[in-house]
Amino acid sequence: MEIKVSKETYNPLLKRKEIELEIQHEEQGTPQRFEIRKRMASKLGSKIENVFVVGLRTCTGMHRTACSLQVYDDPVAASSTIPEHVALRNLPPEERAKIKEAKSTKEEKPAKPSGKGETKAPEEETKPTAKVEAKPETEAAKPTKK
């Protein structure tokens, strides 16, 4: 796998480097995000917690992938900017599987009442209803038969 940096810019407002990569992967499938993340962290001399693969684009039948990478100055800036689903995609496969499993077991269990008192049903909003008065039909309003 060969990685070339095609574009690199620094965003001072978000305290990150935005890097566009081109990855050649002959006789292999599209590389995993975590593998790219590890290689680029070591190549750039940054901590792996500060490096995130935001997007991968591979054309069908090609052995070339375009990659968007963000390298943050500190993990605090990264955690406040990176969406949760992108952070989850960048985890090692083992950790990602554990988190997905924990979420699925959490969703299966119904929420228990707190037991501090009676649970109240949510109050329904009452909307004022407008009165509709019946209007007498006139000769002009009736459809005519031809």
Per-position pLDDT tens, the chain of length 146:
899 999 999 999 999 999 999 999 888 888 899 999 999 999 999 999 999 999 999 988 888 999 999 999 988 888 899 999 899 999 888 888 888 888 888 777 665 655 555 555 555 555 555 565 655 566 555 666 65
Domain that holds residue 17: 2-106
Residue 100 domain-assigned (yes or no): yes
Residue 93 domain-assigned (yes or no): yes
3-state secondary structure 91-135: CCHHHHHHHHHHHHHHHHCCCCCCCCCCCCCCCCCCCCCCCCCCC
Say if residues 82 and 76 touch (Cβ distance below 8 Å): no
Instruction: Report the CATH number that the domain containing residue 40 is assigned in CATH.
Output: 3.30.70.330
**Angle, alpha carbons 13-14-15 (nearest 5°):** 95
pLDDT at 15: 92
pLDDT at 97: 87
